[in-house]
Structure 1
């Protein structure tokens, strides 16, 4: 009887060791995958930073002005007229057209703002 119990326990110990090894191996593979993904993310972030720096250099107003002057004839460039942005009837009304903020007869000192009262 003792031999049978010993064999069962040895078998259970070998099975537990095998399962533990498999779990450890799978965890190490996942950790390697995570490290690879983190390296790829870092590379992408560095690439984005580099491209943003390049974009800001390419869009400097002085550089764009030089290019537009150099290629003005070839591209048919000309200055923008104010009417190209909006017609005068599309603009909002003047400041005097809006209702005043204070009611009739009310002064700035009497204006209630919700602050602490004295």
Structure 2
């Protein structure tokens, strides 16, 4: 009949087959996920290509010139004069407005007094 070694070898063989089947199933699931991600990447790349083509069409100088002529009354655009172009150092400084906030009292201390709490951070 069956010996103990035969039963052990059959059990090892069944365990190996189960492990191989489980591994194959996990790999196929991961491969399916990778294919979905690759398809999403291709879709995004195609979308970017289309958007770049649209951008190049929309920003053509001839088209922009026609639009400025059509909407001249609404936009009220005028050619740029040479004296309008300045460097950063030539821009006027923006005035600074600061609101002075009253300082709150800390733990009931009066203003002008020092805190008598001793800490280990500073040695005098």
TM-score (norm 1): 0.69
Moved over 4 A (4+): none
Report 1:18-57 matches (<5 A). 18-57=18-57
Q: Is there any run of 5+ residues in structure 2 with no aligned partner, and where?
A: 91-124
Q: What RMSD, in angstroms, separates the aligned Cα atoms of the two structures? A: 1.8
Give the Å deviation of 1:69.
0.9
Higher percent of residues as helix: 1
Aligned residue pairs: how many?
A: 89
Give the Å deviation of 1:2.
5.0
Give the Å deviation of 1:82.
1.3
Q: Is there any run of 5+ residues in structure 1 with no aligned partner, and where?
A: 91-118
Report 1:1-118 matches (<5 A). 2-86=2-86
- Could you tell me how far apart the structure 1 residues matched to 2:7 and 2:55 are? 71
Partner SS for 2:78: coil
Give the Å deviation of 1:86.
2.2
